[in-house]
Amino acid sequence: MTNQNQPNEYDSPWKEILKAYFKDFLAFFLAEAHDGIDWQRDPKFLDKELDRITREAKSSNRRVDLLVKVWLLNGDELWVLIHVEIQGDRDPEFAERMYTCQHRAHDLHRKPVVGLAILADEEPSWRVSEYRQVLWGSELVYRFNTVKLLDYLDRLSELEAFDSPFAIVTLAHLTGKQTKNHPDQRFQEKQRITRSLYRRGFSR
C-alpha cells in the first residue's frame, strides 16, 4: 500500500511507451501518418539530432520530445516530431516552441518534419495548434497536429474496450489525473487497469 502516496510521474512512462509502441501511437493519435508509413522498415529514433535541435528551445514545463525517422510507402524519408506537454499549465510560448523545433530540424537537416502535440493538461479551453507571426505584409504560419487528452473524458468506456496500448495509456493518464487527491481510489483504479492489460494479452 506504500505506492499509493508516491508523487505523480507522467513524463517517464510516456517516453518509454512512445518508443516501445510507436506504430500503435501513430495508429491511435495520427492515423493518416500511420497509414502512409512503410512499417517493413523499422523507425529510427534520432536522439542526438533532437538534442541539437532543442538545445535552444527548452521549457520549464515537464515534457517529452521524440524525433523519429520513418520511410513512406513511396520510399521518401520523413521525420516525425512528437511533443508531449505534461504539465497542466497554459503556456503562451508553446506554439512558438513547436515552430522553433520544426524550423531547426528542417534548417539543420533539410528533412520534412511533421509536428504532433499531445496536450495532457487540465485546462479544457487551452487548445493550441498554430504559430503565427505577422508584420508589415510578411506572414509566417506553422500549423501542427494537436490531440487534447481531456477530449477522451466522455469516452472512458470506449477506451476500456479498445485494444490499442494508447487507449490504455490515455485511460490511465486521465484516471491518474482524476484520482490524484484520492490515493485509495487511485490504487484501486491502478489494479483494475493492470488486470485489464492481462486480459488483453499483454505481458508483465
**What's the pLDDT score for residue 27?**
94
**Residue 74 maps to a domain:** yes
**Residue 41 maps to a domain:** yes
Q: Which amino acid is at 6?
A: Q
Walk along the chain (204 residues) in steps of 10 and give the mean pLDDT of each run. 43 76 92 93 88 65 76 89 69 87 85 86 88 95 92 85 83 76 70 70 69
**What's the pLDDT score for residue 198?**
66
**What's the pLDDT score for residue 11?**
56
Alpha-carbon distance of 74 to 191, in angstroms, equals: 44
**Residue 201 maps to a domain:** no
**Residue 162 maps to a domain:** no
Alpha-carbon distance of 9 to 62, in angstroms, equals: 10
Which residues are within 8 A (CB) of 104 and not within 5 positions of it... i.e. 6 or more apart? 53, 54, 56, 57
**Residue 62 maps to a domain:** yes
Count: domains in the chain: 1
**What's the pLDDT score for residue 1?**
37
**Residue 160 maps to a domain:** no
Domain that holds residue 18: 2-154
**Residue 186 maps to a domain:** no
**What's the pLDDT score for residue 143?**
94
Residue whose cell numbers read 528551445:
57
**Residue 164 maps to a domain:** no
| C-alpha dist (Å) from residue 88 to 66, 91, 149, 155, 179 | 20, 9, 11, 20, 15
Residue whose cell numbers read 501542427:
144
Alpha-carbon distance of 185 to 187, in angstroms, equals: 5
